[in-house]
Protein backbone atom coordinates (compact mmCIF):
# COMPACT_ATOMS: atom_id res chain seq x y z
CA UNK A 1 0.00 0.00 0.00
CA UNK A 2 1.28 3.45 -0.93
CA UNK A 3 1.28 5.68 2.11
CA UNK A 4 -0.33 9.07 1.61
CA UNK A 5 1.49 10.22 4.73
CA UNK A 6 5.00 8.76 4.99
CA UNK A 7 5.10 7.32 8.48
CA UNK A 8 8.86 6.98 8.91
CA UNK A 9 9.46 10.59 7.87
CA UNK A 10 6.68 11.99 10.07
CA UNK A 11 7.83 9.98 13.09
CA UNK A 12 11.32 11.32 12.37
CA UNK A 13 9.97 14.87 12.24
CA UNK A 14 8.22 14.26 15.58
CA UNK A 15 11.47 13.03 17.14
CA UNK A 16 13.25 16.12 15.87
CA UNK A 17 10.58 18.48 17.22
CA UNK A 18 10.63 16.89 20.68
CA UNK A 19 14.43 16.93 20.74
CA UNK A 20 14.62 20.56 19.65
CA UNK A 21 11.96 21.65 22.13
CA UNK A 22 14.02 20.04 24.89
CA UNK A 23 17.22 21.64 23.59
CA UNK A 24 15.44 25.00 23.40
CA UNK A 25 14.92 24.96 27.17
CA UNK A 26 18.62 25.78 27.59
CA UNK A 27 17.82 29.28 26.33
CA UNK A 28 14.92 29.60 28.77
CA UNK A 29 16.43 28.14 31.93
CA UNK A 30 20.03 26.96 32.11
CA UNK A 31 22.57 24.77 30.36
CA UNK A 32 21.45 21.65 32.24
CA UNK A 33 17.75 22.01 31.42
CA UNK A 34 17.80 19.71 28.34
CA UNK A 35 19.54 16.90 30.24
CA UNK A 36 16.93 17.13 32.99
CA UNK A 37 14.22 16.59 30.37
CA UNK A 38 15.74 13.95 28.12
CA UNK A 39 18.94 12.82 29.82
CA UNK A 40 22.27 12.85 28.03
CA UNK A 41 21.76 14.03 24.47
CA UNK A 42 22.74 11.43 21.84
CA UNK A 43 26.09 12.14 20.18
CA UNK A 44 24.55 11.96 16.72
CA UNK A 45 21.60 14.24 17.50
CA UNK A 46 21.91 17.70 16.04
CA UNK A 47 19.60 19.97 14.15
CA UNK A 48 21.49 19.51 10.90
CA UNK A 49 23.14 16.09 10.90
CA UNK A 50 20.96 13.50 12.62
CA UNK A 51 19.00 10.90 10.68
CA UNK A 52 15.79 11.46 12.60
CA UNK A 53 14.05 8.53 10.91
CA UNK A 54 16.41 6.16 12.73
CA UNK A 55 14.84 4.64 15.82
CA UNK A 56 16.46 6.08 18.95
CA UNK A 57 18.11 8.99 17.11
CA UNK A 58 16.65 11.49 19.61
CA UNK A 59 17.57 9.39 22.64
CA UNK A 60 15.72 6.76 24.69
CA UNK A 61 13.57 9.17 26.72
CA UNK A 62 12.01 10.73 23.62
CA UNK A 63 11.74 7.32 21.95
CA UNK A 64 9.72 6.05 24.93
CA UNK A 65 7.47 9.11 24.86
CA UNK A 66 3.78 8.32 24.44
CA UNK A 67 3.71 11.10 21.84
CA UNK A 68 5.72 8.97 19.43
CA UNK A 69 3.19 6.15 19.74
CA UNK A 70 0.16 8.41 19.42
CA UNK A 71 1.53 10.21 16.34
CA UNK A 72 2.12 6.80 14.78
CA UNK A 73 -1.52 5.83 15.41
CA UNK A 74 -2.73 9.08 13.86
CA UNK A 75 -0.67 8.47 10.72
CA UNK A 76 -1.97 4.90 10.44
CA UNK A 77 -5.54 6.19 10.80
CA UNK A 78 -5.12 8.84 8.12
CA UNK A 79 -3.49 6.36 5.74
CA UNK A 80 -6.03 3.55 6.19
CA UNK A 81 -9.16 5.27 7.57
CA UNK A 82 -9.13 2.60 10.29
CA UNK A 83 -8.75 3.11 14.01
CA UNK A 84 -7.42 0.26 16.13
CA UNK A 85 -9.57 0.92 19.17
CA UNK A 86 -12.89 2.49 20.10
CA UNK A 87 -13.84 6.21 20.26
CA UNK A 88 -12.58 6.49 23.84
CA UNK A 89 -9.14 5.34 22.66
CA UNK A 90 -9.22 7.93 19.91
CA UNK A 91 -10.17 10.66 22.38
CA UNK A 92 -7.20 9.65 24.54
CA UNK A 93 -4.85 10.13 21.59
CA UNK A 94 -6.53 13.47 20.88
CA UNK A 95 -5.97 14.61 24.48
CA UNK A 96 -2.37 13.40 24.59
CA UNK A 97 -1.50 15.28 21.38
CA UNK A 98 -3.37 18.50 22.23
CA UNK A 99 -0.35 20.15 23.94
CA UNK A 100 1.92 19.43 20.95
CA UNK A 101 -0.75 20.74 18.57
CA UNK A 102 -1.08 23.90 20.64
CA UNK A 103 2.67 24.51 20.66
CA UNK A 104 2.99 24.05 16.92
CA UNK A 105 -0.07 26.23 16.32
CA UNK A 106 1.33 29.08 18.45
CA UNK A 107 4.30 29.99 16.30
CA UNK A 108 5.11 32.91 18.57
CA UNK A 109 5.85 30.43 21.35
CA UNK A 110 8.38 28.30 19.51
CA UNK A 111 9.68 30.52 16.74
CA UNK A 112 11.29 33.94 16.66
CA UNK A 113 12.40 36.22 13.80
CA UNK A 114 16.03 35.60 14.79
CA UNK A 115 16.08 31.82 15.07
CA UNK A 116 13.84 28.76 15.01
CA UNK A 117 13.44 26.71 18.14
CA UNK A 118 12.22 23.84 15.95
CA UNK A 119 12.79 23.08 12.31
CA UNK A 120 9.96 24.83 10.41
CA UNK A 121 9.56 22.06 7.84
CA UNK A 122 9.31 19.37 10.52
CA UNK A 123 6.88 21.52 12.52
CA UNK A 124 4.74 22.14 9.43
CA UNK A 125 4.54 18.47 8.42
CA UNK A 126 3.54 17.25 11.89
CA UNK A 127 1.14 20.15 12.43
CA UNK A 128 -0.54 19.29 9.10
CA UNK A 129 -1.43 15.74 10.13
CA UNK A 130 -2.57 16.91 13.56
CA UNK A 131 -4.83 19.53 11.92
CA UNK A 132 -6.45 16.84 9.78
CA UNK A 133 -6.85 14.47 12.71
CA UNK A 134 -8.25 17.14 15.05
CA UNK A 135 -10.72 18.26 12.37
CA UNK A 136 -11.89 14.68 11.88
CA UNK A 137 -12.45 14.27 15.62
CA UNK A 138 -14.55 17.43 15.53
CA UNK A 139 -16.55 16.18 12.53
CA UNK A 140 -16.99 12.46 13.21
CA UNK A 141 -17.04 12.24 17.00
CA UNK A 142 -18.19 15.65 18.23
CA UNK A 143 -20.44 16.42 15.22
CA UNK A 144 -19.58 20.10 15.51
CA UNK A 145 -19.57 22.71 12.72
CA UNK A 146 -16.26 23.06 10.90
CA UNK A 147 -14.41 26.14 9.81
CA UNK A 148 -13.56 26.24 6.10
CA UNK A 149 -9.87 25.57 6.80
CA UNK A 150 -10.81 22.44 8.79
CA UNK A 151 -13.02 21.14 5.97
CA UNK A 152 -10.22 21.87 3.48
CA UNK A 153 -7.76 19.91 5.65
CA UNK A 154 -10.04 16.86 5.76
CA UNK A 155 -10.76 17.02 2.04
CA UNK A 156 -7.11 17.44 1.09
CA UNK A 157 -8.00 20.59 -0.84
CA UNK A 158 -6.84 24.19 -0.78
CA UNK A 159 -8.86 26.49 1.45
CA UNK A 160 -9.55 28.65 -1.61
CA UNK A 161 -11.26 25.70 -3.32
CA UNK A 162 -13.60 25.23 -0.37
CA UNK A 163 -14.29 28.96 -0.14
CA UNK A 164 -15.21 29.06 -3.85
CA UNK A 165 -17.69 26.23 -3.29
CA UNK A 166 -19.54 28.42 -0.78
CA UNK A 167 -19.72 31.51 -3.02
CA UNK A 168 -23.20 32.55 -4.05
CA UNK A 169 -24.97 31.56 -0.87
CA UNK A 170 -28.28 32.82 -2.26
CA UNK A 171 -27.76 31.20 -5.65
CA UNK A 172 -27.76 27.50 -4.86
CA UNK A 173 -24.11 27.18 -3.75
CA UNK A 174 -22.29 23.90 -3.87
CA UNK A 175 -21.54 24.18 -0.14
CA UNK A 176 -23.99 25.65 2.37
CA UNK A 177 -22.32 27.69 5.12
CA UNK A 178 -23.32 30.02 7.92
CA UNK A 179 -21.69 32.92 9.72
CA UNK A 180 -20.91 33.26 13.42
CA UNK A 181 -19.34 36.65 13.91
CA UNK A 182 -16.53 37.02 11.43
CA UNK A 183 -16.05 33.29 10.90
CA UNK A 184 -17.68 31.01 8.36
CA UNK A 185 -18.77 27.52 9.35
CA UNK A 186 -20.22 24.38 7.79
CA UNK A 187 -22.58 22.13 9.75
CA UNK A 188 -21.25 18.61 10.24
CA UNK A 189 -24.01 16.93 8.21
CA UNK A 190 -23.47 19.39 5.35
CA UNK A 191 -19.72 18.80 5.48
CA UNK A 192 -20.21 15.03 5.19
CA UNK A 193 -22.69 15.49 2.31
CA UNK A 194 -20.28 17.79 0.45
CA UNK A 195 -17.28 15.52 1.02
CA UNK A 196 -19.18 12.54 -0.42
CA UNK A 197 -20.38 14.59 -3.40
CA UNK A 198 -16.94 16.00 -4.17
CA UNK A 199 -15.31 12.56 -4.08
CA UNK A 200 -12.76 14.23 -1.84
CA UNK A 201 -9.81 12.46 -0.28
CA UNK A 202 -11.93 11.35 2.67
CA UNK A 203 -13.73 8.30 3.99
CA UNK A 204 -15.27 7.95 7.48
CA UNK A 205 -13.23 6.13 10.09
CA UNK A 206 -13.72 2.36 9.99
CA UNK A 207 -14.44 1.16 13.53
CA UNK A 208 -14.69 -2.49 12.52
CA UNK A 209 -11.59 -3.30 14.57
CA UNK A 210 -13.20 -1.97 17.71
CA UNK A 211 -10.60 -3.15 20.23
CA UNK A 212 -6.86 -2.58 20.25
CA UNK A 213 -6.34 -5.13 23.01
CA UNK A 214 -7.52 -8.59 21.87
CA UNK A 215 -10.85 -9.46 23.51
CA UNK A 216 -9.59 -12.56 25.36
CA UNK A 217 -6.93 -11.96 28.04
CA UNK A 218 -4.02 -14.42 28.08
CA UNK A 219 -4.11 -16.80 31.03
CA UNK A 220 -0.48 -17.95 31.12
CA UNK A 221 2.96 -17.20 29.72
CA UNK A 222 2.38 -19.44 26.66
CA UNK A 223 -0.62 -17.30 25.68
CA UNK A 224 1.06 -14.01 26.63
CA UNK A 225 3.84 -14.20 24.02
CA UNK A 226 1.60 -14.41 20.90
CA UNK A 227 -0.72 -11.83 22.49
CA UNK A 228 2.16 -9.35 22.77
CA UNK A 229 3.44 -10.21 19.29
CA UNK A 230 0.06 -9.32 17.76
CA UNK A 231 0.10 -5.93 19.50
CA UNK A 232 3.69 -5.25 18.45
CA UNK A 233 2.93 -6.08 14.82
CA UNK A 234 -0.15 -3.83 14.91
CA UNK A 235 2.24 -1.05 15.94
CA UNK A 236 4.44 -1.80 12.89
CA UNK A 237 7.48 -2.50 15.07
CA UNK A 238 10.04 -5.27 14.77
CA UNK A 239 11.57 -6.68 17.95
CA UNK A 240 14.79 -4.85 17.05
CA UNK A 241 12.87 -1.57 16.58
CA UNK A 242 11.16 -2.07 19.92
CA UNK A 243 14.39 -2.78 21.76
CA UNK A 244 16.12 0.21 20.19
CA UNK A 245 13.21 2.51 20.93
CA UNK A 246 13.11 1.49 24.58
CA UNK A 247 16.85 1.45 25.10
CA UNK A 248 16.85 -2.23 26.10
CA UNK A 249 20.06 -4.21 26.47
CA UNK A 250 20.70 -7.36 24.45
CA UNK A 251 19.65 -9.68 27.29
CA UNK A 252 16.28 -7.96 27.63
CA UNK A 253 15.71 -8.06 23.86
CA UNK A 254 16.55 -11.77 23.77
CA UNK A 255 14.27 -12.46 26.73
CA UNK A 256 11.38 -10.60 25.12
CA UNK A 257 11.90 -12.41 21.82
CA UNK A 258 11.87 -15.71 23.70
CA UNK A 259 8.62 -14.67 25.41
CA UNK A 260 6.95 -13.91 22.07
CA UNK A 261 8.17 -17.20 20.59
CA UNK A 262 7.02 -19.22 23.63
CA UNK A 263 10.59 -20.38 24.10
CA UNK A 264 11.06 -22.58 27.19
CA UNK A 265 14.37 -20.77 27.83
CA UNK A 266 12.51 -17.49 28.45
CA UNK A 267 14.05 -15.65 31.42
CA UNK A 268 11.33 -13.64 33.17
CA UNK A 269 13.94 -11.92 35.36
CA UNK A 270 14.97 -9.83 32.35
CA UNK A 271 11.47 -8.31 32.01
CA UNK A 272 11.17 -6.09 35.07
CA UNK A 273 8.16 -3.97 35.94
CA UNK A 274 9.93 -0.94 34.39
CA UNK A 275 10.38 -2.87 31.13
CA UNK A 276 6.72 -3.90 31.30
CA UNK A 277 5.67 -0.25 31.57
CA UNK A 278 7.92 0.76 28.65
CA UNK A 279 6.65 -2.12 26.53
CA UNK A 280 2.99 -1.37 27.20
CA UNK A 281 3.36 2.33 26.37
CA UNK A 282 5.17 1.50 23.13
CA UNK A 283 2.85 -1.15 21.67
CA UNK A 284 -0.46 -0.15 23.25
CA UNK A 285 -0.32 3.53 24.30
CA UNK A 286 -4.08 4.01 24.52
CA UNK A 287 -4.58 1.03 26.87
CA UNK A 288 -1.13 0.79 28.44
CA UNK A 289 -2.43 0.58 32.02
CA UNK A 290 -4.57 -2.47 31.18
CA UNK A 291 -1.69 -4.15 29.35
CA UNK A 292 0.70 -3.50 32.26
CA UNK A 293 -1.73 -5.29 34.59
CA UNK A 294 -2.06 -8.26 32.21
CA UNK A 295 1.69 -8.71 31.77
CA UNK A 296 2.50 -8.19 35.45
CA UNK A 297 -0.27 -10.58 36.54
CA UNK A 298 1.37 -13.37 34.51
CA UNK A 299 5.07 -12.61 34.90
CA UNK A 300 5.21 -11.49 38.54
CA UNK A 301 4.36 -14.94 40.01
CA UNK A 302 7.03 -16.53 37.77
CA UNK A 303 9.69 -14.06 38.94
CA UNK A 304 8.62 -14.48 42.57
CA UNK A 305 8.74 -18.25 42.32
CA UNK A 306 12.29 -18.15 40.94
CA UNK A 307 13.45 -15.89 43.75
CA UNK A 308 11.86 -18.13 46.38
CA UNK A 309 13.39 -21.25 44.87
CA UNK A 310 16.82 -19.65 45.18
CA UNK A 311 16.32 -18.44 48.73
CA UNK A 312 14.43 -21.30 50.38
CA UNK A 313 17.23 -23.91 50.24
CA UNK A 314 19.65 -21.54 51.98
CA UNK A 315 16.98 -20.62 54.54
CA UNK A 316 16.29 -24.27 55.27
CA UNK A 317 19.95 -24.92 56.01
CA UNK A 318 20.18 -22.21 58.65
Per mean pLDDT, which range of 130-139, 144-153, 218-227, 230-239 is the poorest?
230-239
Q: How confident is the model over 202-215, as pLDDT tens digits?
A: 788 887 654 456 65
Q: For residue 216, what pLDDT is reported?
A: 63
- Burial state string for 39-67 with b = 16 or more CB within 10 A and e = fewer than 16: eebbeebeeeebebbebbbbbbebbbbbb
Q: How confident is the model over 16-70, as pLDDT tens digits?
A: 999 888 888 887 788 888 888 777 665 555 555 578 888 777 877 787 777 887 8
Distance CA 217, CA 26 (A): 46
Q: How confident is the model over 288-311, as pLDDT tens digits?
A: 778 888 898 898 888 888 878 777
Predicted model pTM: 0.69
Distance CA 212, CA 246 (A): 21
Residue 116: pLDDT band by 50, 70, 90 thresholds?
low
Burial of 222 (0-12, 13-18, 19+ CB in 10 A): middle
Cα-Cα end-to-end distance for the chain: 66
Q: How confident is the model over 246-255, as pLDDT tens digits?
A: 889 999 999 9
Amino acid sequence: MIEKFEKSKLIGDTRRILYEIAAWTENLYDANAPSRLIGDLPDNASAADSDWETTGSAGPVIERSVIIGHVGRVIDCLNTNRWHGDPSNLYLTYRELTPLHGLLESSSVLMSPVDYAVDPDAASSVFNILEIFFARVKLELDHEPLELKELAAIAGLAKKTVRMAAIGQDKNPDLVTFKDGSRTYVKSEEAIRWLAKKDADYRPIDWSEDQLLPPVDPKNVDELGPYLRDLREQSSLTVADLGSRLGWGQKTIQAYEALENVDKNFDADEISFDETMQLSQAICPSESADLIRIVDRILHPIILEKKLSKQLPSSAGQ
